[in-house]
Amino acid sequence: MKKNHSSFKKIGLIIALLLFNLGFSQNETNPVVDTTKTTKLEDIVITGVANPKAKIKSSVSITTLDVKQVEQSAPRSTAEIFRSIPGIRSESSGGEGNSNISVRGVPISSGGSKYLQIQEDGLPVLLFGDIAFATADIFTRFDGNTAKIEAIRGGSASTLSSNSPGGIINFISKTGKTEGGMIRTSFGLDYNNFRTDVDYGTKIGEGLYFHAGGFYRAGEGVRKTGSTSNNGGQVKFNLTKEFENGKITVYAKFLNDRAAAYMPMPVKVTGTNSNPTWGSVSGFDATTGALQSIYLNHNVGLGPDGGLWGGELLRVDGATCERIGHLKPLALPGGDRAAREPWRMAAAALHRLGLSSSTPLGADAPSANTLLSLTACAHIRAGTLAPIPATSLKAIASMLARGLNCPSTTSAGRWFDAVAGLLGVCWWQTEEAQAAIALEQLAAQWLSENAAPVLDAELVAAGLNLDVLLRRLLSFMADVPGPANSSAATHEASQCATRTDTTDQAARPVGVFAACRPEALVLAAQSEASALFHVALADALAQAAIQAAQQHQISAIALSGGCFFNRILRGRMQDTLTQAGLTAHLPTDRAFGDAGLALGQAWVAAHSLQPTRAQQINTQQATTRNSLCV
């Protein structure tokens, strides 16, 4: 009986507690209500509508993303933000841009976002969203300037914007009406990426606000490219003035950003159609590797030693080769940038000769740095090239002296650039091979009116060592008649690199040549020097090939590489080799440049991957064995 009595007491206590909780709940007078959804439904929508109205009153499908919602999705690109918008499919597999974006019910039909328009503050980023490799998301960056993103699907989008039957996605910027800002830095944990965002806005007058901000980032990216593939940033600014019945906003944006684009990767497939085996090709990891390279825009060959090859003689035997000769190396001050600025290669050539600002070229000749200033006269004819600041000359001299960011190369193209810079023919290149073409034109004009220069014993003996030739070329400019050889003229010329003629709208370099030397004499010196360079280089390459052919018992010589687009170099070498009893082979379709290199790479790859088949090919095509390639 005592046991049952105790059980009834426990049951009674539980019932009392439940009744107490029920009564306490009924007596509460301040219930907590979540107003977040209500507030968002009352937000005024301004994208793709004729009359701004609350979202809850709109008849079209609208999505609004604030900054917190975007950050929670952790997007790696602008296109990945769109995945948070219902009804939007964003295929962002190519990096920061060139994404395929579609709206539910509307097909893609092509790459990009053909039926969807991306806007910034109501202005279209691009009027067309399907331009090949130039889609709207490439030119759009999300940063701290963005207050929210509005997306409207269908409805009035097609009538209020062009090419947007699927919808509109609008990035709306902060105006500064809410004072404040932020500084934020992010970095990659398992890949090289560093980014800093800054923004700030405030009220600066009655109804007047401003906001400014942007970001800068640098890094390799999510795949291993071996260089800083992602580099750049964005700056945005807006000024808003509110009135009683509206407002005016002045908006500015500057975007200068570079990002790697990841295209389909090469994959090795073995096995059968019904049971294939997928894997990476030799020397490349398809899951982490990238096709980008710092040498992507230039024909640079890396040899087995890791050096920048070019300008060489190769003994070819099927898919194997032996480097048996090459031009002397030149430094690339600033790396790949030197290929676009021949004046840097000119400075590298002077450094190779051991010349500095205190080392004269001769008893009455100006110093090396002064000579660079004097060569500015060449640009007086065209007036298209800016002078070189003295600070840049000093910086390059310091880099060369310390060997800082100055990889060396034996490329024949860089030797053309160096000579063009030394002669004042071209200091800055805006087109591929611009300097080499300018040199060829000068040489062709001179050779059409004069006999080819006769090389003396010193130049012939120098062969592929072009140092002697460089000094001869420098003397052409230093020996032009005029008062420049005097001390007063030399002092004036030393100031040339930082002065421009203020009376000329073209801002042309001025100096001793411009003031005292007849233009015709300068042009004649450049032309004769260009002709000598072409003749000496062609003969040096030809004689090296002839000697190698005799040593290795070779009768076939193949001329390959972009420099053989040069008619003077190609023609003189052909004649010399033919006179020596050798057969000179040229690409049948004149593919001396990228096309020929690609074909050669494919040939080597085919031999490397299929050694048995390669032996059969080599037997059938004996001309490819034991031949010489220049």
CA distances (Å), origin 319, targets 281, 299, 562 = 18, 20, 21
Residues of the chain with pLDDT under 50: 1-4, 6-11, 13-39, 357-385, 482-517, 613-614, 617, 619-625
List the structure tokens of 275.
């049971």
pLDDT at 104: 86
Which 3 state secondary structure label does DSSP give 534? helix
Instruction: Decide the pairing of beta strands 330-331 and 408-409.
Output: antiparallel
Question: Angle CA(145)–CA(148)–CA(152) in degrees, nearest 5?
Answer: 135
Structure confidence at residue 155 (pLDDT): 80
| Amino acid present at 71 | E
pLDDT at site 449: 92
Instruction: Specify the CATH superfamily of domain 39-173.
Output: TonB-dependent receptor, plug domain (2.170.130.10)
Please spell the DSSP secondary structure of 549-569, one letter per residue: HHHHT--EEE--SGGGG-HHH
Q: What is the pLDDT of residue 475?
A: 78
Provide DSSP, 99-138: -EEEETTB---SSS-TTEEEEETTEES-S-S--TT--GGG
Q: How far apart are CA 57 and CA 53, in angstroms?
A: 7
Q: In the prediction, which pLDDT does 610 show?
A: 64
DSSP state of 284: -
The helix or strand, by DSSP H or E, that contains position 85, with its residue range, turns out to be none
Single-letter code of the amino acid located at 47: T
The residues, ordered by sequence, that sit 6+ positions from 270 with a Cβ below 8 Å of its Cβ are 276, 277, 279
What's the CA gap between 369 and 155, in Å, rounded?
A: 68
State the CB neighbour count (10 A cutoff) for residue 538. Answer: 21
pLDDT at 514: 35
Question: For the chain, which residues make up each domain, given as ranges?
Answer: 39-173, 175-293, 329-531+567-582
- The 8-class DSSP code of residue 465 comes to -
In this structure, what DSSP letter does residue 194 have? E
- 363 is written with which tokens? 């008893």
Q: What share of the chain is helix, strand, coil (3-state, %, to 5)?
A: 40, 25, 40
Q: What are phi and psi of 428, to 5 degrees?
A: -135, 135
CA angle 139, 144, 145 (to 5 degrees): 65
Torsion angles phi and psi, residue 158, rounded to 5: -70, -25
Strand 53-54 to strand 44-45: parallel, antiparallel, or no bridges (unpaired)? antiparallel
Query: Looking at the domain 329-531+567-582, which fold is it?
Result: Tetracycline Repressor; domain 2 (1.10.357)
Say how far apart CA 474 and CA 486 lie, in whole Å: 17
Among 170, 213, 203, residue whose Cα is nearest residue 78: 170
Residue the block writes with tokens 């002669």: 423
Say if strands 408-409 and 146-153 run parallel, antiparallel, or are unpaired: unpaired
